[in-house]
């Protein structure tokens, strides 16, 4: 970098700032800027292209090209050299542009006479807002200094665009963050909801991208970085030694905070005329752009660390904390890139919905959102950049769609949908205290699934007869360290108190596979779903299981207790787990604790092998519960977490129903109580078929009890069974079409 270009770029930014300070708005301002850049860079042409919609770029201002082309010339993402810059987010520097690959001639612009082309993305925080181009007649490659200068200018333009500096009279640039946006993501938790945006981490607003005095800016940056370093060191000193993951993150923070390369790049940005904030953002933007290109999980994590660190630095520089002074709306929809389970629990049920830019179906946040029954959309690309605090937002959790700042038609259609759901809820409330007795006189016991203390009030409101599945792992997942026995015991006691005599089936710790405890050494396994999980961990490392069994016995304190072991694949595993329970009972008795007089020990049937276990198993086990989510994935060999295959096989596939029927028969023969507690139990059509196949107990999310009960009460199981038999006899792959036709004609 030469002293001249340094001053050139600084001079250019200085002129830019003067232009910005003038009272000219919108187009006039843009025109002046293009003139200024072309003049400073000694090029005949300077043009600014901005996105008109997510797919189309529009020429918004130019110096040198034909003025009549402004707002007329448009190109699709990826089209021509400008489109290429926008699509790839990289710089295009061509000495002989017309013969470059992908060049597209736009006759209305008159650009054919210009040979060299330099295009840089106008990018803010990894998001491309447009393209800045300079062109000249002389066929030459632009130097790296020129390129750098243009990048710095583009950075400032991005900040200005973000601040709406060009929007006054420019249709193509109707203020960003005012337009309606539709984002498609994935379903984390179903449900339709409406509310206003609450950003988990509000964006820092940079209002001064250009430096007045580079020396002062350098000083500000150095001071801020020092504060940052001290902060990271303090966090490291305060971090619990055992939490290796947290330590790793903090170590990475420290590495970046002390990184000479990072610092040097920011200092260079400042010496070229950017303010300290803009320099931090420029580096952050580059890191974000890289993020979208790397697949390596470790590298992505580190880039995220750098991103977090940049945010901290920006907060220090701008004095904008997470506390922005904004009030949380009454109907908050939480927007975050990602969120930990504990943070989500802090918000609790105050949230009406959650949208995550990342996340996965099996993430801890998703587990908590499901437990809290809050609609959740995951993988909502760009939501954190698009949404502003207080924006109106509607979520369709069933379809995984986010409507941000929706227009009136969307609002009306969406509210109709919510109203229909509310009407249905009223219908369900009216039968809450009625039994799920079918038209042919069979009563099905409907139980609810739970995992948090916060779920327990639903026992009353949903009309569930008991808790058919209490997933105990949530208590372990949401903490940073292993919970203590006394804590667990107190919690389980509160659960039993809240259940008020209704049966609660506690499932012992089901970890491994997608559920990884933050404080346990992660296992590198080629196929975690088929790996060291649930009862396998419990039996190999019995310490935690013993502690949990003790906590349960103490919590019951003489009251009836139901415990089931997850993922039992063979009789021996059940026997070994049961032996642990017997030992725990004995120990507690010796210690003088009151033990439950009425104790039942069951197993979850989640692997096909257990369906074929010896008769002795069926005779011994007190009850069985089918974990349909796992059972189905193993039956069809289709990963429940893999979007490509998880919906590929129908639960009402004849093979699966026949398999379930065999299990029902075995349980009938051995008089073993049987229930179904996977997600399918909460789907009315599936639940109806299960009942027709002989299931008499179903456990589901509380919100599903109403719809399932409503269905069962209208149903004749004998007739439905005949429909299923007929479809099976006819060789159909799935009984669903026949069942649907029957239900349509008989309701």
- How many whole angstroms separate alpha carbon 80 and alpha carbon 76? 8
**CA angle, 461 then 465 then 466, to 5°:** 95
User: Quick one: 315 or 646, whose CB is closer to Mg ion?
Assistant: 646
Question: Measured in whole angstroms, how far is the alpha carbon of residue 493 from the centre of its chain?
Answer: 33
46, 60, 667, 677: the catalytic one is: 677
Question: 48, 60 in Cβ contact below 8 A?
Answer: yes
Q: How far is the CB of 593 from ligand PEP (least distance, A)?
A: 29
Tokens read off for 704: 């599903």
**Shortest Cβ 631–Mg ion spacing (Å):** 8
- Within a 10 A sphere around the Cβ of 345, how many other Cβ atoms? 17
| Least distance CB 535 / Mg ion (angstroms) | 11
**What one-character DSSP code corresponds to residue 487?**
H
Among 606, 617, 618, 654, indicate the residue that binds ligand PEP (CB under 6 A): 606
Partner whose footprint covers residue 318, from ligand PEP, Mg ion, none (CB < 5 to 8 Å by kind): none
3 state SS of 57: strand
- Nearer to ligand PEP by C-beta: 225 or 374? 374
Residue (89 or 468) nearer to Mg ion, CB: 468
> 46, 60, 304, 364: which one is catalytic?
364
- Residue closer to ligand PEP by CB (options 129, 677) is 677
Q: What string marks each residue from 677 to 716 as x (binds ligand PEP by CB under 6 A) or -?
A: xx--------------------------------------
The stretch among 40-48, 115-123, 331-339, 621-629 that binds ligand PEP (CB under 6 A) is 621-629
Site for ligand PEP (CB under 6 A): how many residues?
A: 10
Report d(CA 453, CA 457) in Å as an integer: 8
In the shown chain, the binding pattern of residues 467 to 486 toward ligand PEP, with x for contact by CB under 6 A and - for none, equals --x-x---------------
Q: Closest distance between ligand PEP and the C-beta of residue 447, in Å?
A: 12
Residue in 339, 630, 712, 735 binding ligand PEP, rule: CB under 6 A? 630
| Binding to ligand PEP, residues 343-402 (CB under 6 A) | none
Contacted by 359, from ligand PEP, Mg ion, none: CB < 5 to 8 Å by type: none
Identify residues 402-421 at the interface with ligand PEP (CB under 6 A): none
How far is C-alpha 127 from the geometric centre of its chain's CA atoms? 19
Which stretches of the chain bind Mg ion, using CB under 5 A?
Answer: 606, 627, 630
Residue 69's region, left for phi above 0, alpha for psi from -120 to 50, else beta, is: alpha
6 binds, among ligand PEP, Mg ion, none (CB under 5 to 8 A by kind): none
10 Å CB burial of residue 540 (0-12, 13-18, 19+) is: exposed
Please, what is the minimum distance in Å from the beta carbon of residue 625 to ligand PEP? 8
E-assigned strand segments in 499-651: 504-507, 561-568, 599-605, 623-626
Judged by beta carbon distances under 5 to 8 A according to partner kind, the member of ligand PEP, Mg ion, none in contact with residue 258 is: none
- CA distances to 220, 316, 370 from 319, in Å: 12, 5, 36
Residue 677 designated active-site: yes
Distances (CA, A) of 92 to 115, 116, 581: 13, 10, 68
CB burial of 48-82 (b: ≥16 within 10 Å; e: otherwise) equals bbbbbeeebbbbbbbbbbbeebbeebbbebebbbb
For 433-558, where are the alpha helices, taking DSSP H only? 457-462, 473-477, 485-499, 535-540, 542-556
Q: Is 627 in the site for ligand PEP (CB under 6 A)?
A: yes
Three-state DSSP class for residue 338: coil
Least Å distance between CB 513 and ligand PEP? 8
Write each residue from 265 to 294 as x if it is in contact with ligand PEP (CB under 6 A), else as -, in one continuous string. Answer: ------------------------------
Q: Which is nearer to Mg ion, 305 or 606 (CB)?
A: 606
Which one among 130, 332, 628, 682 touches ligand PEP, defined by CB under 6 A?
628
Is 295 or 527 the residue whose CB approaches Mg ion more closely? 527
Shortest CB 630 distance to Mg ion, Å: 4
CB of residue 490 to ligand PEP, shortest distance in Å: 23
Among 27, 208, 629, 670, binds ligand PEP (CB under 6 A): 629
Helix-strand-coil split of the chain, %, nearest 5: 50, 20, 35
Tokens describing residue 473: 């792992």
**92 in Cβ contact with 117 (< 8 Å):** yes
Interacting positions 509-538 with ligand PEP (CB under 6 A):
510
Q: Quick one: 358 or 606, whose CB is closer to Mg ion?
A: 606
Any idea which residue has 């350098």 for tokens? 218
By the criterion CB under 6 A, which residues form the site for ligand PEP?
469, 471, 510, 606, 627-630, 677-678
Residues with a catalytic annotation lie at 364, 677
């Amino acid at each position: 970098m030469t002293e001249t270009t340094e001053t050139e770029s600084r001079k250019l930014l200085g002129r830019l700032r003067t232009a910005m300070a003038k009272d000219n708005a919108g187009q006039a301002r843009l025109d002046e800027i293009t003139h200024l850049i072309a003049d400073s860079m000694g090029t005949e042409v300077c043009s600014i292209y901005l996105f008109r919609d997510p797919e189309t770029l529009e020429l918004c201002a130019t110096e040198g090209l034909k003025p009549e082309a402004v707002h007329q010339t448009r190109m699709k993402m990826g089209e021509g050299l400008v489109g290429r810059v926008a699509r790839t987010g990289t710089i295009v520097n061509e000495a002989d542009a017309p013969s470059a690959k992908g060049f597209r001639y736009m006759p209305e612009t008159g650009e054919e006479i210009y040979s060299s082309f330099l295009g840089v993305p106008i990018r803010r925080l990894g998001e491309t807002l447009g393209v800045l181009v300079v062109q000249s007649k002389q066929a030459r490659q632009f130097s790296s200094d020129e390129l750098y200068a243009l990048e710095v200018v583009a950075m400032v333009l991005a900040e200005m665009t973000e601040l709406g500096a060009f929007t006054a009279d420019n249709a193509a640039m109707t203020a960003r963050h005012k337009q309606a946006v539709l984002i498609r993501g994935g379903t984390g938790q179903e449900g339709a909801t409406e509310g206003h945006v609450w950003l988990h981490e509000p964006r820092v607003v940079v209002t001064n991208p250009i430096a007045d005095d580079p020396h002062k800016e350098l000083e500000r940056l150095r001071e801020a970085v020092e504060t940052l370093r001290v902060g990271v060191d303090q966090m490291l000193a305060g971090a619990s030694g055992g939490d290796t993951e947290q330590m790793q993150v903090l170590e990475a923070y420290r590495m970046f905070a002390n990184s000479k390369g990072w610092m040097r790049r920011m200092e260079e940005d400042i010496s070229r005329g950017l303010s300290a904030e803009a320099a931090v953002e420029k580096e952050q933007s580059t890191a974000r752009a890289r993020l979208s290109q790397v697949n390596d999980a470790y590298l992505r994590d580190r880039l995220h660390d750098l991103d977090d660190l940049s945010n901290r630095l920006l907060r220090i520089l701008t004095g904008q904390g997470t506390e922005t002074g904004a009030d949380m709306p009454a109907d908050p929809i939480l927007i975050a890139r990602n969120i930990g389970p504990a943070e989500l629990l802090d918000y609790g049920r105050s949230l009406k919905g959650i949208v995550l830019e990342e996340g996965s179906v099996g993430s801890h946040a998703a587990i908590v959102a499901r437990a809290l029954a809050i609609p959740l959309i995951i993988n909502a690309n760009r939501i954190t950049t698009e949404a502003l605090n207080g924006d109106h937002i509607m979520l369709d959790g069933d379809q995984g769609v986010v409507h941000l700042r929706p227009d009136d038609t969307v609002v009306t259609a969406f509210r109709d949908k919510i109203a229909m759901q509310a009407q249905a809820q009223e219908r369900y409330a009216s039968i809450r205290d009625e039994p799920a007795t079918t038209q042919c006189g069979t009563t099905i016991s409907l139980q609810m699934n739970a995992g948090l203390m916060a779920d327990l009030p639903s026992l009353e409101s949903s009309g569930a007869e008991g808790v058919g599945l209490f997933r105990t792992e949530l208590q372990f997942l949401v903490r940073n360290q292993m919970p203590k026995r006394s804590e667990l015991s107190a919690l389980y006691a509160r659960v039993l108190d809240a259940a008020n005599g209704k049966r609660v089936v506690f499932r012992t710790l089901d970890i491994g596979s997608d559920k990884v405890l933050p404080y346990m050494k992660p296992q590198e396994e080629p196929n975690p779903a088929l790996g060291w999980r649930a009862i396998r961990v419990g039996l190999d490392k019995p310490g935690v299981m013993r502690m949990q069994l003790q906590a349960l016995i103490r919590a019951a304190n003489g009251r009836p207790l139901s415990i089931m072991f997850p993922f039992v694949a063979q009789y021996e595993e059940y026997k070994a787990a049961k032996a642990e329970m017997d030992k725990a009972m004995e120990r507690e008795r010796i210690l003088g604790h009151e033990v439950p007089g009425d104790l039942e020990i069951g197993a979850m049937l989640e692997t096909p092998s257990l369906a074929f276990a010896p008769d002795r198993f069926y005779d011994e086990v007190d009850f069985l519960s089918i974990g349909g989510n796992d059972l189905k994935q193993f039956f069809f060999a289709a990963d429940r977490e893999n979007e490509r295959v998880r919906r590929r096989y129908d639960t009402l596939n004849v093979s699966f129903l026949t398999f379930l029927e065999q299990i029902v028969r075995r349980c009938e023969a051995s008089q073993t109580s049987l229930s179904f507690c996977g997600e399918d139990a909460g789907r009315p059509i599936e639940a109806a078929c299960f009942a027709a196949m002989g299931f008499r107990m179903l456990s589901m999310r509380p919100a599903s009890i109403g719809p399932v009960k409503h269905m069962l009460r209208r149903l004749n199981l004998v007739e439905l069974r005949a429909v299923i038999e007929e479809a099976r006899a006819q060789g159909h792959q799935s009984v669903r079409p026949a069942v649907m036709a029957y239900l349509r004609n008989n309701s």
